[in-house]
Amino acid sequence: MASTLKEIADHMGVSHVTVSHALRGTGRMAEDTRHRIQQTARRMGYRPNAAARTMASRQTHNIGVVIHSLGLQCGGWHAYDTVSGINSIIEPAGYTTCLVQMHDVESGEDGMARVFREQALDGMIVHAALLPRARHHLGELSDSIIWCDAGLQESTNCVWRDEVQAGRLVANAVAEAGYRKALVVSGESHSERPYRHGHQREAGLRDGFERAGVAMQCVRIESGNAAHLQMIIDQMHPDVAVVAADYSHVEPIALMFPSAGWSPGVHFALACCDDRSWFAVHWRNLSRARFNRYKMGQQAANMMLQRMSSHERSVESHIELPAWYPGHVKELSIPPTLVPREKLIGR
């Protein structure tokens, strides 16, 4: 039979209030005491009564995390890291993470997730690029929202990446390696997207290259477009580096250039302004700017807990800074010398 808080308190010789705080991760007490109470509660088969806790505190202890998709599309790779960071803070504090797809928010009342229909959330962390109408709708559903990498850069309740600094990091690394020109590769623009990081990264690249005296040229490519590939090859030279503005532009380069006898990181320099988990496994030597998305999730979760504990409508925003990852073998990612272009063409 499951034990009650009072039985656990009597067994340990403490008050039931102390036991309640220990199991919820609240209150001030020694971590050793909290740990012993939690272990004792598990041994005695204690099961929290969610309904009673909700009635007593007028809280559901559910935090909604709005993401694009439960799959790997639409930023799912990065969402996993961010959500893991959120959960690492939310769960020990006594809250449960409820994943909600952006589609459920935008679909209206009929398709809306149950947690919204029943108002079963104490707050929301939005980790998805959103259109203005979606933001308005979310604001009507909850007055406690943290916008984490959602395209908002406001003074309060937001967490976002410093994409300009990511561009500067890449520009500085390319300049320090001795290259005098950079071809910045990006895809076709999509104006219908709610927001894009590309223009911020390009601004950082331009600033960094101008300061270092390195020429910069932006090149738009489409995967499989031979004319675009040839346009880049025609400009290649031993003192020219290629910079991918986004991780999605690295893959077309990796597929297109070898067909012309050019190997990225071997015959020409390649660096990227962003990162993805796939690189850590399959392209570990790729030089790139990296954001700690797990840490961003933790930051957003701490901001949410701060809002709820202080009952304040706003907390100060946080800007996540990137780190430069030179690659495990720097001479392959950004080599000091390149094979002369005539030898490559003669292959």
The string of pLDDT tens digits covering residues 52-79 is 444 444 466 788 898 876 554 445 567 8
In the prediction, which pLDDT does 60 show? 66
Task: Tell me how far apart the terminal alpha carbons of the chain are, to the nearest angstrom.
Answer: 77
Residues 236 and 175 in one domain: yes
Is pLDDT at 346 greater than 60 in this prediction? no
What is d(CA 308, CA 327) in angstroms, rounded to the nearest whole number? 41
Residues 211 and 283 in one domain: yes
Q: Name which of 121-130, 206-215, 322-331 the model is least confident about.
A: 322-331
Residues 155 and 208 in one domain: no
> Tokens for 141?
């559903």
Between these two residues, 170 and 229, which has the higher pLDDT value?
Answer: 170
| 132 within some domain | yes
| 57 within some domain | no
Is pLDDT at 147 greater than 90 in this prediction? yes
Is pLDDT at 188 greater than 70 in this prediction? no
State the pLDDT confidence band at 311, using cuts at 50, 70 and 90: confident
In the prediction, which pLDDT does 115 show? 53
What is the arithmetic mean of pLDDT over 179-202?
A: 71
Indicate the residue type of 125.
Answer: I
197: helix, strand or coil: coil
Residues 199 and 331 in one domain: yes
What is the arithmetic mean of pLDDT over 236-246?
A: 85
Report the b/e string of 268-295 with b at 16+ CB within 10 A.
Answer: bbbbbbbbbeebeeebeebbbbbbbbbe
CATH number for the domain that contains residue 223: 3.40.50.2300
Residues 201 and 276 in one domain: yes
Is pLDDT at 104 greater than 80 in this prediction? no
Which pTM value belongs to this model?
0.72
What is d(CA 76, CA 70) in angstroms, rounded to the nearest whole number? 7
Is pLDDT at 155 greater than 90 in this prediction? yes
Between these two residues, 205 and 339, which has the higher pLDDT value?
Answer: 205
Domain that holds residue 171: 163-290+326-345
| 172 within some domain | yes
Total of domains in the chain: 3
Q: What does the DSSP 8-state code read for residue 238?
A: T
* Percentage with pLDDT > 90 across the chain: 25
Residues 335 and 226 in one domain: yes
What is the arithmetic mean of pLDDT over 129-150?
A: 78
What is the arithmetic mean of pLDDT over 220-237?
A: 71
Contact by Cβ (8 Å): 304, 123: yes
In the prediction, which pLDDT does 192 show? 40
Residues 175 and 281 in one domain: yes
What is the arithmetic mean of pLDDT over 78-94?
A: 88
Contact by Cβ (8 Å): 214, 172: no
What is d(CA 253, CA 246) in angstroms, rounded to the nearest whole number? 11
DSSP H or E run through 161: strand 158-161
Between these two residues, 129 and 287, which has the higher pLDDT value?
Answer: 287
Residues 229 and 209 in one domain: yes
The string of pLDDT tens digits covering residues 263-305 is 777 777 889 998 887 777 777 788 899 999 999 999 999 999 9
CATH number for the domain that contains residue 30: 1.10.260
